[in-house]
Amino acid sequence: MIKKTFSILLLLLGITLNMLAQPSDTLWLEQCQNAAAHNLPLYKNQELARQSAQLAIENIRATYLPQINGNAQATWQSAVIELPFSLPGVSVPQTPNEQYKITADVSQRIYDGSLGKKRKTGEIIRREQQINETENAIFQLNTQITSIFFQINLLKAQLKVVQMNQDILEARHMTCESAYRHGLKTKGECLTLKAEILKLQQNEKVIQSNLKSLAKGLSELSGLNVNPDGIFYLPIPPVHEEFNSQLRPEESTFSLQIATIDNYSDQLQSKLLPGIGGFLQAGYGNPGLNMLKGEADGWLMAGVKLSWTLWDWNQNRKDIQRNSVTQESIKNSRETWRRNLHIELITKLEEIDRYDTLLKSDTEIIESYSSLSREAFVNFENGTLTAADLIKIVGDEQNAILNREIHYLQSIYAKLQYNELQGLFIQPE
């Protein structure tokens, strides 16, 4: 008994594992967007930007460490220092025309008006700008994925209606053929139904071809193995009428542009301040520091150096003023973008209301056409309705069903677009 129970448990476990191992035919919108983002070549630039900024900051920090340089020089001079007079009993060494010296120079930055700190801030801003470029690309990619999901679902709705229409007409065609054999229908009526069925089959092939094309494009973007016959899940997002653009990557783009100009102006201000540095030199040469000694000698020299641009004809100040003008231009562009976005959001809200209103009346329209279709089937079998009239009535009913599906999908798509306009992307339920 125990052995039998254990065997059953193993069998159930094997079935469960097999089901889990099988690929799901349901593809979520966010799942595809995340896969497409990671599949985007630009996605790798985010980490590269961080690495580049870190290296640049390390280089800036290194400028505050002692800088050591080695120098060597050998010269021949046509004239050297000599006394214009002679002193009795005093021998003055002759400075050689051939001179050489070897030095090791150490310099240390002491104060630079916080220029290094501001340069580091500039590198961080540049890093964020490069990351923001990727975020903008991902944002555009997400909207593209949403559009493809909508188009695929739209084609699937059309395919479903075409297949339903085809099934209805094929059933009526079989009835017509039977009635024709008993002399109750004409051959022309049966041929009319057959021709309409063939046209529907053509439409079905075109739709399936378009589905495969969109699925292939989705596979290229996401790197996933997309099955065109699978389910492409479009979530129904909540709609919040409070307008907010802070989550859009363009907001960061404008802010970073302003921050870049601010940082550049700060660096210009630092350059107006004095710079102080210390230095140390150890050297050996002929002559040494005492040129009258007349022989090779070593030396040490240490000191502090101050450098200050006292007058630059207001070049820095004019650059700072120009930066302020550029900042105002960027702010004006941001406000224009926000206003246009606000208009887009209002338009999209009206679009959502329009589709929701159409959906309410779609049900009544379908019920009316369904009643007409049921009556048309009876009249066709009784011989009081032609095949052409039957095709038109059935087509009207199927078009009404298709319109409801289209309005439903358009409503979801409009809500997704509304949220995307605000920088929101939906989590799967």
Write out pLDDT tens, residues 289-333.
Answer: 887 777 888 999 999 999 998 888 888 889 999 999 999 999 999
pLDDT of residue 77: 85
Q: Is 65 left (phi over 0), alpha (psi -120 to 50) or beta?
A: beta
pLDDT at residue 10 greater than cutoff 70: no
> DSSP state, 25?
S
**Residue 340 host element (H or E):** helix 315-382
**Closest of 308, 285, 307, 311 to residue 298, by C-alpha:** 285
pLDDT of residue 138: 94
Dist CA 125 CA 145 (whole Å)? 30
> Looking at the whole model, is its pTM more than 0.75?
yes
pLDDT at residue 127 greater than cutoff 50: yes
Amino acid making up residue 114: S
Burial label for 12, CB within 10 Å (0-12, 13-18, 19+), is exposed
Domain layout of the chain by residue ranges? 26-74+96-421
**Residue 106 host element (H or E):** strand 98-111
Any idea which fold 26-74+96-421 has?
Outer membrane efflux proteins (OEP) (1.20.1600)
pLDDT of residue 156: 95
Write out pLDDT tens, residues 165-223.
Answer: 999 889 989 988 888 888 888 899 899 999 999 999 999 999 999 999 999 999 999 99
Q: What percent of the chain has pLDDT over 90?
A: 64
